[in-house]
Amino acid sequence: MSNLNNIKRGPIMFALIIGLFVAALNETLMGNALPDLMKSFDLSAATAQWLSTAFMLVVGVLVPVTAILQQWFSTRKIFLSAMGLFFVGTVIAAVSPTFSVLLIGRIIQAVGTGMLLPLVMNVIMTIYPPEKRGGAMGTLGLVVMFAPAIGPTVSGLIVDGLSWRWLFYLVTPFALLSVIIGAAVLKNVSEVTKPRVDFLSIVLSTIGFGGIVYGFSSAGEHGWSEPAVIWTIAAGGVALLLFVWRQLILKQPVMDLRAFKYPTFALVAVLLFVLMMTFFSSAIMLPMFMQGVLLVTAFKSGLILLPGGIINGFMAPVSGKLFDKFGPRVLVIPGLVIAVISLWQFTRFDETTSTGFLVAIHIALMIGIALVMMPAQTAGLNQLPNHLHPHGTAILNTLQQVSGAIGTALYISIMSRGQKQYLSGASDPQALTEIAKGLASGINNAFWFGVIIALVALVLGLFIRKGKSPEHEQSAG
């Protein structure tokens, strides 16, 4: 392992951030392109949706394994492998002659993304001392939040003017640039201990997290009564319980769940799980509201969400610096209050809502989330001893993927039920105005659920503290 005192952090952060920006942007590029793809390959919406669902599924399955990968391979090898796979997947998707080949390209991209996310967080926790981690994690937050925010707008613009293939053509040179810069400047900053790998844990993790993500994603699409949905979630749940039990009895677990013994980390894990359900779900609900109720185009709906996304991204470094100065409570509690009030405003949206009001409330929600996300994560990870950082980052990233799938499925189910209830009492259920009002009613119901979830997060946030790792407490003492 390199001497951390001699490491030049700037070039390392630059290489990591370019890779992460490309990977994060790629996650939301496909949404506006789905109608175009459905025409190109003659697909149903349910089939085309697999380009997003499969991506989330692979990332959700792979992230838990990254903790063990970081103990077997150097930082440099993992980063170059991750970005190399992402580059290959992007090229395959760009030239794909059939939908099956395009899906394979997306899955290879997802493998690279799943390896990259926890690696970047762990490198930051390793190369920065605790008093500077807030600012560094804030810079990471700028990328993680800003890139997905501009994704729908960029894809809407490209799909309107060019073909969907340009979504991959434009990403390819940036992915290649990240590989070249990474090869030139990246040093190994983690300790390679090569612990024994428990393959049964990996199998249980794959079935557990994969089953739950797939099951909930399918429930949002097909409904909860489908036997395949019930059995997949049940199998995932059982495998996950066995995975947890096995990690607690192993001397060298794949994902060390002993991280939950540290109270600040445990609290942050639950808080972020709850909050990310709302974050992912609002990103799906709001475009549906704008396109189905306000009847705006996909490109315009992307533009409406762009200011909130940009402000959210630029708030991340600010909240990181404030975290270093004041700790988490000063940021997290006001952020959650803002999120609750914003979501309550979403429950009042209808066909008369102005786009200006929607933009303002979305900006408020994004500011609230920016005040919570990175400060909470940094506070939780700061309390862990150094050897648990790879496991802590893997746990938080896995929970975010799973919460996104669960939250989206729950929101869509509540929305669909509310829409059906409204239309069952309408005088003319086939009228376009009634369909729009029904959709608005269903979305209002879904956001009421979001308000309840955000209130739970607020209660949890009241107990957050500035965590210190055992090593940091010893050096301070």
For residues 260 and 267, give the distance between their C-alpha atoms in angstroms, rounded to a whole number.
9
Q: Please report the pLDDT score of residue 461 as a whole number.
A: 87
For residues 38 and 25, give the distance between their C-alpha atoms in angstroms, rounded to a whole number.
21
Tokens matching residue 101: 């080949």
Q: Please report the pLDDT score of residue 364 as a whole number.
A: 93
Task: Provide the b/e sequence for 4-19 (b: ≥16 CB within 10 Å).
Answer: eeeeeeeebbebbbbb
Number of neighbouring beta carbons within 10 Å of residue 231? 12
Q: Please report the pLDDT score of residue 345 as a whole number.
A: 92
Overall pTM surpassing 0.85 (yes/no): no
Q: Please report the pLDDT score of residue 297 as a whole number.
A: 75
pLDDT in tens, the chain (477 residues): 445 556 677 777 788 888 888 887 877 777 667 667 777 788 765 567 677 777 777 877 777 777 777 777 777 888 888 889 999 999 999 998 888 898 899 899 888 888 887 777 777 777 777 777 777 777 777 777 677 777 777 777 777 777 788 888 888 898 888 888 888 877 776 666 676 777 888 888 888 888 887 787 777 666 678 888 889 889 999 998 998 898 888 887 877 888 888 888 989 898 888 888 887 777 777 877 887 788 887 678 778 888 887 887 788 778 878 888 888 888 889 999 999 999 999 988 888 888 899 999 999 998 998 888 878 888 888 888 877 887 888 788 778 777 877 787 778 778 877 877 877 776 666 666 777 888 888 888 888 988 998 898 899 888 887 656 555 555 444
Q: Please report the pLDDT score of residue 31 as a whole number.
A: 64
Dihedral of CA atoms 174, 179, 183, 187 in degrees, nearest 10, equals: 90
Q: Please report the pLDDT score of residue 92 as a whole number.
A: 94
For residues 356 and 406, give the distance between their C-alpha atoms in angstroms, rounded to a whole number.
30
Q: Please report the pLDDT score of residue 430 as a whole number.
A: 66
Q: What are phi and psi of 291, to 5 degrees?
A: -80, -30
Per-position DSSP letters for 139-182, written without gaps between them: HHHHHHHHHHHHHHHHHHHHHHHS-TTHHHHHHHHHHHHHHHHH
Report angle CA 58, 64, 67 to the nearest 5 degrees.
Answer: 130
Q: Please report the pLDDT score of residue 49 as a whole number.
A: 67
Query: Which residue type is seen at 399?
Result: L
Helix axes 99-127, 133-161, angle to 10 degrees: 160
Q: Please report the pLDDT score of residue 410 as a whole number.
A: 79
Per-position DSSP letters for 411-465, written without gaps between them: HHHHHHHHHHHHHHT-S-TTSHHHHHHHHHHHHHHHHHHHHHHHHHHHHHHTT--
